[in-house]
């Protein structure tokens, strides 16, 4: 995938536009979508992920909007949507036009967890969604929507993990940077690759070590950040 894909969507009533769709079918998975909403209306413009997208009548939806809100839900029949976690604001969601946000999604069996910029947003159970593709999608009805896809990472969850994984309250942890080590430039790059933040904010965090890099992150995401920091000589731990 290029560093960033910029797309523009014209308004259309009741239409969800597919931008990218996987060939692979996923059952249990962990993914992160990096997204910038650049311009759109404050009522209907949104972008995000359709997951366990088996057909165009049954799929889950994880959205963020240009109004700075988020949503987790599903479609179980044509034009029949049901919220698992309705539209609401989240402190971790960056609201300024063009700011980078991350939608994290983890599906294990009937359990679905969503995070915003590494911070847990919601966990729900939905037996009606079991497997399907992943689709980056968008929708707008009143005004053209311009947005950018900055990255999409997908990791399969090993078979059987859903039967032995901990309860939702234990699925999330924080990453603490204990020591930055000698390669601070590489550490800054690693942190910014995993956590959307400005350069100065990142430098200040690293200088303040020991410091919390991310809170309430899905365990798989936290482990990847910890391991990537270790590769560049930093010391980080999960708690």
Cα Rg of the chain (Å, integer): 18
Which sign does the torsion angle of CA 36, 74, 154, 106 carry?
positive
Measured in Å, how far apart are the chain's first and last C-alpha atoms? 33
* Cis previous bond, 208, omega within 30: no
Per-residue pLDDT tens digits of the chain, which is 239 residues long: 457 999 999 999 989 999 999 988 888 999 999 999 999 999 999 999 999 887 777 899 999 999 989 999 988 765 567 888 888 888 889 889 999 999 999 998 888 999 998 888 888 888 877 788 999 999 999 999 999 999 999 988 875 554 444 444 446 778 888 888 889 999 999 998 888 878 888 888 888 888 888 877 788 888 888 889 988 988 888 87
Q: Where in the chain is the domain with CATH 3.30.1390.10?
A: 171-238
Burial class (CB in 10 A: 0-12, 13-18, 19+), 136: buried
In total, the chain counts a number of residues equal to 239
Second-level CATH architecture of 5-165 = Sandwich (2.60)
Other beta carbons within 10 angstroms of residue 81's beta carbon come to 11
Where does 171-238 sit in CATH, by number? 3.30.1390.10
Q: Helix (H, G, I), strand (E, B), or coil: what is residue 170?
A: helix
Q: For the whole model, what pTM was predicted?
A: 0.69
């Amino acid at each position: 995938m290029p560093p960033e894909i910029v797309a523009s969507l014209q308004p259309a009533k009741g239409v969800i536009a597919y931008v990218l769709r996987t060939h692979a079918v996923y059952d249990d998975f962990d993914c992160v979508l990096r997204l910038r909403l650049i311009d759109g209306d404050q009522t209907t413009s949104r972008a995000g992920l359709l997951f366990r997208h088996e057909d165009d009548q049954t799929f889950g939806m994880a959205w963020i909007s240009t109004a700075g809100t988020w949503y987790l839900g599903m479609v179980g029949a044509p034009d029949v949507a049901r919220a698992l976690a309705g539209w609401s604001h989240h402190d971790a969601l960056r609201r300024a036009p063009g700011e980078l946000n991350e939608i994290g999604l983890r599906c294990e069996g009937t359990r679905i967890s969503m995070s915003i910029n590494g911070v847990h947003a919601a966990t729900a159970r939905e037996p009606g969604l079991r497997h399907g593709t992943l689709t980056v999608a968008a929708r707008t009805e009143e005004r053209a929507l311009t947005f950018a896809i900055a990255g999409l990472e997908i990791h399969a969850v090993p078979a059987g993990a859903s039967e032995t994984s901990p309860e939702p309250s234990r699925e999330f942890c924080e990453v603490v940077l204990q020591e930055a080590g000698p390669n601070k430039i590489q550490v800054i790059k690693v942190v910014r690759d995993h956590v959307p933040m400005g350069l100065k904010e990142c430098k200040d965090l690293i200088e303040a070590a020991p410091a919390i890099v991310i809170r309430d992150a899905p365990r798989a995401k936290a482990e990847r950040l910890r391991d990537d920091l270790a590769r560049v000589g930093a010391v980080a731990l999960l708690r």
